[in-house]
């Protein structure tokens, strides 16, 4: 059987780091009140990284990709498929994947973006897995990269404290050894309005708001329900049970959503990779950032069974079960 296996991971965070106190001080200048205590208690977030004004998603993606390519022991020219998950692309078009491809010097291979907001990385990994198993690709670079700081409304304290910028990447290669065991993706467009950036470009102007809006409580309720379903569906597809999971690498939106998922999977929190405290919610970048953190810290070991799961705007959600 032909499988797709992760052979390298990498990630990148912009240098500029803001603690909750740093952010609270900046918001206070606008007359917006928040506190470290409120943010930590409701979300588990302590700090986030923001890119400088000139840096785009492809710049963050490039740094993460170079590390993943190096970890896989290959060169950029060996890559024959590039998929970037992002909701903050460099341009309306062409895709951030094309821009990244040129920066990497991997010109010629297919390259495209996947847009599923915070579920983007599990969507992109599922597409790459299918293309590798079908023989359409041998070595894919799958990236999640975001500069959410660009679309935050810093006059809305209910959202601007939650997000950060960053990128994560994996190299996924054809292998006879099982890597990705099962994938499970879903979307329900009924819920477009609970988390969106409603604006669009028309006649040289942005019509509608170009900034993120969210109904936090509606998102919270949706997220905990669908994540449990996706986790059980992907286990069933792979013929595995909760006890087979060595590590859960969830989308890092909010520690309370992660704790709730762990509880429903009967996993203790020391089997969950947590980076939300230091990264905030980096949308499509959060899962590959957390995965790379787990690998480089020595927590996630070769051969272990890892569940990735994401949920986000759309509403979209999904899970991937894999052997490292």
Catalytic residues: 118, 251, 281
- DSSP 3-state helix, strand, coil percentages of the chain (rounded to 5)? 40, 25, 30
Number of residues in contact with ligand ACO under rule CB under 6 A: 23
- Using the rule CB under 6 A, give the single segment among 7-15, 36-44, 232-240, 263-271 that binds ligand ACO: 36-44
The interface with ligand ACO within residues 49-88 (CB under 6 A) comprises none
Find the binder of ligand ACO among 151, 162, 171, 249 (CB under 6 A).
Answer: 162
**How many angstroms separate the CA atoms of 224 and 258, rounded?**
8
- Find out whether 241 and 218 touch, Cβ atoms under 8 Å: no
- Residue 172 CB, shortest distance to ligand ACO, in Å, is 23
**How many angstroms separate the CA atoms of 167 and 152, rounded?**
18
Output the six-digit token pair for 49.
């990284």
Question: Based on CB atoms, which residue is closest to ligand ACO, 137 or 223?
Answer: 223
Find the binder of ligand ACO among 84, 128, 311, 322 (CB under 6 A).
Answer: 311
Output the six-digit token pair for 145.
């990269």
Give the single-character DSSP code of 155.
T
225 lines the binding site for ligand ACO (CB under 6 A) = no
Question: Based on CB atoms, which residue is closest to ligand ACO, 238 or 257?
Answer: 257
154 lines the binding site for ligand ACO (CB under 6 A) = no
User: Which has the closest alpha carbon to 238: 149, 321, 163?
Assistant: 321
Burial of 1 (0-12, 13-18, 19+ CB in 10 A): exposed
In degrees and rounded to multiples of 5, residue 155 shows phi and psi of: -100, 0
- Find out whether 173 and 292 touch, Cβ atoms under 8 Å: no
287 lines the binding site for ligand ACO (CB under 6 A) = no
- Residue 271 CB, shortest distance to ligand ACO, in Å, is 21
Residue 186, CB-side half-sphere exposure with 13 Å CA sphere:
22
Radius of gyration of the chain from Cα atoms? 18
- Residue 26 CB, shortest distance to ligand ACO, in Å, is 13
Find the binder of ligand ACO among 16, 42, 240, 296 (CB under 6 A).
Answer: 42
Find the binder of ligand ACO among 217, 236, 241, 244 (CB under 6 A).
Answer: 217
Burial of 106 (0-12, 13-18, 19+ CB in 10 A): buried
- Residue 250 CB, shortest distance to ligand ACO, in Å, is 10
Terminal C-alpha separation, the chain:
17
- Residue 179 CB, shortest distance to ligand ACO, in Å, is 26
- Residue 69 CB, shortest distance to ligand ACO, in Å, is 28
**Which positions from 253 to 282 touch ligand ACO by CB under 6 A, shown as an x/- string?**
xx--------------------------x-
CA dihedral sign of residues 129, 135, 136, 141:
positive
Four-CA torsion 211, 218, 116, 234, nearest 10 degrees = 160
Question: Based on CB atoms, which residue is closest to ligand ACO, 102 or 217?
Answer: 217
**Which positions from 170 to 209 touch ligand ACO by CB under 6 A, shown as an x/- string?**
-------------------------x--------------
Binding footprint of ligand ACO on the chain (CB under 6 A): 34, 38-39, 42-43, 118, 157-158, 161-162, 195, 214, 216-217, 219-220, 223, 251, 253-254, 281, 311-312
């Amino acid at each position: 059987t032909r499988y797709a296996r992760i052979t390298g991971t990498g990630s990148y965070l912009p240098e500029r780091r803001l603690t909750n106190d740093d952010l609270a001080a900046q918001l206070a200048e606008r007359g917006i009140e928040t506190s470290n205590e409120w943010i930590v208690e409701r979300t588990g977030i302590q700090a986030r990284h923001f890119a400088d004004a000139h840096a785009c998603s492809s710049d963050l993606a490039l740094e993460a990709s170079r590390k993943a390519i190096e970890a896989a022991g290959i060169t950029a020219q060996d890559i024959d498929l590039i998929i970037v998950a992002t909701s903050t692309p460099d341009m309306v078009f062409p895709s951030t994947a094309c821009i990244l491809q040129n920066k990497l010097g991997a010109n010629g291979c297919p390259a495209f973006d996947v847009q599923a907001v915070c579920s983007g990385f599990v969507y992109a990994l599922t597409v790459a897995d299918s293309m590798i198993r079908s023989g359409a690709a041998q070595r894919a670079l799958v990236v999640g990269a975001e500069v959410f700081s660009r679309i935050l409304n810093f006059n809305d304290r209910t959202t601007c404290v939650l997000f950060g910028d960053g990128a994560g990447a994996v190299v996924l290669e054809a292998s006879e050894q099982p890597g990705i065991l099962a994938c499970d993706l879903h979307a329900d467009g009924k819920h477009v309005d609970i988390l969106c950036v409603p604006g669009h470009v028309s006649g040289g102007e942005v019509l509608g708001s170009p900034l993120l809006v969210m109904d936090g409580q509606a998102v919270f309720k949706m997220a905990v329900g669908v994540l449990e379903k996706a986790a059980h569906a992907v286990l069933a597809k792979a013929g595995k049970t909760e006890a087979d999971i060595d590590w859960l690498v969830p989308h890092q939106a909010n520690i309370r959503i992660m704790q709730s998922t762990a509880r429903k999977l009967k996993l203790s929190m020391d089997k969950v990779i947590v980076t939300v405290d230091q990264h905030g919610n980096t949308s499509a970048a959060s899962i590959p950032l957390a995965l790379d953190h787990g690998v480089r810290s020595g927590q996630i070991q070769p051969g272990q069974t890892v569940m990735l799961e994401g949920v986000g705007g759309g509403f979209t959600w999904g899970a991937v079960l894999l052997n490292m």
